[in-house]
Structure 1
């Protein structure tokens, strides 16, 4: 088997690298080889898996062959299969059962978010996947993060940003927050949203390099941002993946703290303030020094007001 593309591995698009890994195992072990686990998920179109993916296959009847060249042959109990691109791969339900116990938390949550968001599996089937996972090696770790799954996340980057905020104790109140203008017309959606006082929102946008670096996307992002800010209902923050471990949580936290501080600050009663000003004025009017020096008690064309009468 030869790679004739001539493109170095590190320069390939991440999706191409994942697909290549999924195909390598099937090609290396012959026409009977079945893509399983994470490799099958890639072929089903699930996002969120690591770029460096180990080629993994299973063989009919549980046959085993020695691994070679970094590729693995797995022996899973009976599982469902489907045809894809002229080959046989594990169904998405079975591929999730095979892969999830072996994935780190953020990657696993991103994978399940993606499968739900892309409608590759529904909530009912996903619950059956969870039931099948119980008792398997690594299943305890799955239970620990299962409650973090949210199919509204539209990309693995959004999932990672959300989990970073969850770990910092500031989970978003909503995902895909819809903002309307004063007339009730839809303006745009924000990736992550926190409620602020007065019905306003703090929105965090997550920018992916492949999508948002394109010139047309940059123009669209600018127009969308301007429309959001023009509503007066939004504070908008934007982040890239490099910010997740540096400024994401500190910036969001600072905005939320400022909003809480403003909410706690007492609003002065106008009547109390007016009364204080009137009392102060009265004291000054009764002060001889003020009257003598032509202060507040002096009326043009009259003598200065004394402590016990008006001049006249």
Structure 2
């Protein structure tokens, strides 16, 4: 059977001559967020000379020794989830097939929301074997009694163990956001979160982060909601309710993201959107829901991404609304 070969996107050699590479390599690269290794190239008949041509032409970028990014899309233009998963694959491929993805990178592969966009690639080797960090890849020591599972055939730390490793290294917004999301979407239970906190004691960085565990709330349905809640807490207007049940004019029960009680019995509701977690149809549905809620005994404040990521923007609007309708804050 004839070897199927086709050019990968935007690949060309010197003197304008197009370099054709195996279709199988494009499939592998797509599954690994654009990354391929020297060994994978060799297995498919792509010589080091041809790899070097791709690098010299600018079609590929070197990520680490023996690891290349074949995706011509600039890193900053890729979807945040792809960038996070790329860090996880970089760690896995750099440390070899027996490696285990850990920390925030493991959370990214599990699909937990709330992580920073830029992640440090992290993995470890089982059995206490030593690996060395290089080229921006962090080789961690294997945690004693760490439980390993698989995601799409890739060895990763469980969500609970990944949180043990990640929380001491995350800032407050991202740490609380990932824990909120892990609870809300059933990745872990409250008992498991307590175990995460216990196992994290003594780890570097955790001394300043114990308070994060007290701020976790499983009712937050997205990281932007977590950001909004923390912003309001920090500025003296903590919400009275999360996921507020309200009935519209037709009697259908709907929910608002955050709520504050008014003295006259009405409620102020803050609805939080983010295009990273809601697609276009979901945003349209949210807007329709907001209109329905505005028809009942609720004052609806609608916040988009710019407000979510501007400290004080949401809490300031909420404070002004409460003062207006309550005659001042009590």
TM-score when normalising by structure 2: 0.74
Secondary structure, counterpart of 2:149 in structure 1: strand
Distance 1:123 1:70, change over 3 A: same
> How big is the shift at 1:263?
9.4
Aligned with 1:227 (options 262, 268, 292): 292
Aligned with 2:324 (options 258, 261, 280): 258
Unpaired runs of 5+ in structure 2? 1-36, 38-67
Does the aligned pair in 2 maintain the 1:211–1:217 contact within 8 Å? Answer: no
**1:110 paired residue number:** 177
Secondary structure, counterpart of 1:130 in structure 2: helix
Aligned with 1:167 (options 203, 227, 234): 234
Distance 1:112 1:210 in 2: 18
**1:302 paired residue number:** none
Distance 2:295 2:92 in 1: 53
1:131 aligned to 2:193?
no
Does the aligned pair in 1 maintain the 2:102–2:122 contact within 8 Å? Answer: yes
- Which is higher, the Rg of structure 1 or of structure 2? 1
TM-score when normalising by structure 1: 0.78
Distance 1:262 1:10, change over 3 A: closer
Aligned with 1:156 (options 223, 234, 240): 223
Distance 1:222 1:128, change over 3 A: closer
Distance 1:48 1:80, change over 3 A: same
Does the aligned pair in 1 maintain the 2:249–2:295 contact within 8 Å? Answer: no
**2:85 paired residue number:** 19
**2:95 paired residue number:** 29
Distance 1:220 1:85, change over 3 A: closer
**1:199 paired residue number:** 265
CA RMSD of aligned residues (A): 2.0
Does the aligned pair in 1 maintain the 2:126–2:142 contact within 8 Å? Answer: no
Distance 1:130 1:261, change over 3 A: same
Distance 1:9 1:240 in 2: 24
> How big is the shift at 1:218?
4.8
> How big is the shift at 1:250?
1.6
Distance 2:283 2:204 in 1: 45
Distance 1:210 1:44 in 2: 17
Distance 2:114 2:312 in 1: 21
Secondary structure, counterpart of 1:194 in structure 2: strand
1:83 aligned to 2:150?
yes
| Segment of structure 1 superposing worse, 103-112 or 251-260 | 251-260
> How big is the shift at 1:217?
4.0
> How big is the shift at 1:253?
0.6
**1:48 paired residue number:** 114
> How big is the shift at 1:65?
2.7
Does the aligned pair in 1 maintain the 2:124–2:131 contact within 8 Å? Answer: no
C-alpha offsets along residues 61-100 of structure 1, whole Å, 9 cap, x if unaligned?
Answer: 2222322221110114311111222221111111111111
Does the aligned pair in 2 maintain the 1:33–1:60 contact within 8 Å? Answer: yes
> How big is the shift at 1:213?
6.9
Unpaired runs of 5+ in structure 1? 265-312
> How big is the shift at 1:187?
4.0
Secondary structure, counterpart of 2:318 in structure 1: helix
